[in-house]
């Protein structure tokens, strides 16, 4: 089914609501069973290419008339022939009955991204102990 998907996390870290709404993905949402677990994918218009990385071990957290809230582990493709790619916890808000929304302003999205990066730098500076003796 056609859906607008909002990713609620970036590399496992929760995003601010403005950041979530700034970057929606559109496509064909499919949730299917693979063995004992469920997998969710968002496919492009050709119904073969992935718009977002695969969401593995999917659980349904909420459902209402506007859409569904799915959570799981986002698996990125591997770079080489062996092993698996990076995996992060992810939550998707999927609007299955989308309404017309105003488009996000790219300047606002860039500003929010710079603010997010500044917060990230600030938290990393606070986490690292400083060298006081030298």
Q: Where are the chain's structural domains?
A: 2-104
pLDDT at 11: 87
pLDDT at 69: 92
> Which is more confident, 83 or 56?
56
Cα–Cα distance list, 84 to 22, 34, 76, 99 (Å): 29, 17, 8, 37
Least confident piece of the model among 9-13, 71-75, 79-83: 79-83
| pLDDT-derived band at 73, boundaries 50, 70, 90 | very high
pLDDT at 82: 75
**This prediction's pTM:** 0.66
Q: Please give the helix or strand (H or E) that residue 13 lies within, else none.
A: strand 13-14
128: its two tokens: 């690292």
Torsion over CA: 19, 60, 44, 73 (sign): positive
pLDDT at 63 over 60: yes
CA–CA gap between residue 28 and residue 46 (Å, rounded): 9
pLDDT at 57: 93
CA–CA gap between residue 124 and residue 118 (Å, rounded): 10
What is the tens place of the pLDDT at every residue in 19-29?
888 888 888 99
């Amino acid at each position: 089914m056609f859906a607008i998907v909002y990713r609620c996390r970036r590399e496992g870290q929760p995003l601010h609501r403005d950041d979530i709404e700034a970057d929606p993905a559109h496509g064909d949402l499919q949730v299917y069973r693979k063995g004992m677990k469920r997998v969710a994918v968002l496919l492009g218009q050709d119904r073969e290419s992935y718009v977002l990385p695969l969401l593995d071990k999917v659980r349904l957290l909420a459902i209402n008339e506007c859409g569904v809230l799915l959570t799981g582990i986002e698996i990125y493709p591997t770079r080489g022939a062996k092993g698996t790619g990076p995996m992060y916890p992810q939550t998707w808000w999927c609007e299955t009955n989308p309404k017309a929304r105003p488009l996000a302003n790219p300047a606002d999205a860039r500003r929010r991204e710079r603010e997010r990066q500044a917060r990230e730098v600030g938290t990393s500076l606070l986490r690292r102990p400083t060298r006081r003796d030298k």
